[in-house]
Amino acid sequence: MICLGIESSCDETALAIVADGALLGSSLASQAGLHSIFGGVVPELASREHYHYIGPLYDELLAKTGIKQEDIDVVAVSRGPGLLGSLLVGLAFAKGLALALEKPLLGLNHLHAHLLAIGLEGEARFPALGLLASGGHTQLYRIESPSSFISLGKTLDDAAGEAFDKTGKILGLPYPGGKLLDDLAKMGKAEKGMLPCPCLGKDNLDFSFSGLKTAAAQLARKKAGPTGKLEGRDLENFCATFNLAIAEAICKKVKRAMSKNPDLRRLWLAGGVAANSLLREKLRELAYKKNVEFAVPSLELCADNAAMVAYAGWLMAREGYCHRLDLAAIPRGAKIPDDMLRKPAQ
Ligand code: KG4
Ligand code: ZN
């Protein structure tokens, strides 16, 4: 079965083809450079860029994979959460193709697709404890199957990636600052206990990063002194301290979720922030200590991509799921409806 995946939820336009569970190829246009000028993603510009690139990327993908469009069996698209205007570009393209090719349409939860992508690089067995950390979300799930994700906890304010990017901005790093902050942290030495570890009560599995972000801004100001700017070794040490505080805050909740769900013997980490070197190391260590299998995608599959959408679409289509052509795009903050249709097994 051949599944075309389309991703346009934020600032990457991407298309990919998965055939029988294996990635055949992908095409991507990143807008990072454009939005960097404004210090964050500008929604109107993002939709226009998606609109501009989506057609040419589709042609490029067919040419590079050698797949003819009549060979596509299912069209999968990220339906949310994301920027509404951006999602609509991907959805309109997916619906047009599904209609023209007379093939089923599938709208995927972008966050679930990030986690399911683990199956592209190794065997993904269920159930698993999943941590999704990206620019807009931080979510803990109990994952029972490709179509059954039970939320255990989520961020109550900023997402982990948002905390990285906003702190990066304070430090004068270009947007998005997460990767640069992580790279600088590798050269510095962390000072333990300088930043708070948000806990939110003994049993809570939710996250909160806004207090940590504010404390980090205050600490950066204090460390910078009269120049107002952290530089050189001081900057590296500050980044290491911040990186450690975020990794420890996340690990604390994951550890708690493991104790509350002792039957889950697998831990999956995904999303843009899953590229963070310290978080990968700390969660791998934690899983090892708890004798739990650990899986995280390779770095290129952590950031937004369409391979994860094509693969998750292939998994769902294999289970007989599809959507109607009136599939709605779901913006960030709104609930994704449980509106997939399931064809009876043949
Ligand atoms: O999943 P993603 O590509 O897009 C969303 O769906 O949001 O995540 C992007 C986020 C950004 O906030 C970016 O700064 C962060 O992932 N990020 C990192 C690293 N690489 C990307 N954060 C910390 N350390 C990294 N190495
Ligand atoms: Zn994402």
Helices 210-224 & 160-170 angle (0-180, nearest 10): 20
Q: What is the mean pLDDT of the chain?
A: 95
Mean pLDDT of 28-34: 94
CB 140 within 8 A of CB 130: yes
* 323-331 mean pLDDT: 98
In ligand 1, which atom is closest to the CA atom of 161? 12
pLDDT, mean of residues 88-100: 98
The answer, yes or no, to whether any atom of ligand 1 lies below 6 A from the CB of 81, is no
Would you say the C-alpha torsion 38, 43, 49, 53 has a positive or negative sign?
Answer: positive
State the closest ligand 1 atom to the C-alpha of 111, by its place in the atom list counted from 1: 6
Tokens of 19: 């055939």
Average pLDDT over residues 257-283: 98
Is the pLDDT at 92 greater than 70? The verdict is yes
The pLDDT tens digits of the residues spanning 159-211 come to 999 999 999 999 999 999 999 999 999 999 999 989 988 876 778 999 999 99
Does the beta carbon of 273 lie inside 6 Å of ligand 1?
yes
Q: Which residue spans within 116-265 are E strands per DSSP?
A: 128-133, 138-145, 148-154
Ligand 1, from 8, 12, 86, 164: best to mutate by most atoms within 8 Å of Cβ?
164
Nearest residue to 55 (alpha-carbon basis) of 99, 17, 87, 90:
90
pLDDT confidence of residue 344: 62
135 ligand 1 Cβ < 6 A: yes
Asked if 188 and 240 count as a contact pair (C-beta separation under 8 A), the reply is yes
Smallest-distance ligand from the CA of 112? 2
pLDDT score of 345: 54
Phi first, then psi: give them for residue 291, nearest 5 degrees.
60, 45
Residues 224-267: pLDDT tens digits?
978 888 999 999 999 999 999 999 999 999 999 999 999 999 99
Phi-psi region of 172 (alpha: psi -120 to 50; beta: other; left: phi over 0): left
Q: Is the pLDDT of residue 91 over 60?
A: yes
- Please state, in angstroms and rounded to a whole number, the distance separating the CA atoms of residues 330 and 346: 31
Task: Work out the average pLDDT over 51-67.
Answer: 98
Atom of ligand 1 nearest to the CA of 303: 3
| Strands of the 128-133 sheet, one edge to the other | 148-154, 138-145, 128-133, 266-270, 293-295
Taking the C-alpha atoms of residue 16 and residue 312, their distance in angstroms, rounded to an integer, is: 11
Q: Which residue has its alpha carbon closest to ligand 1 atom 7?
A: 135
68/62 Cα distance (integer angstroms): 6
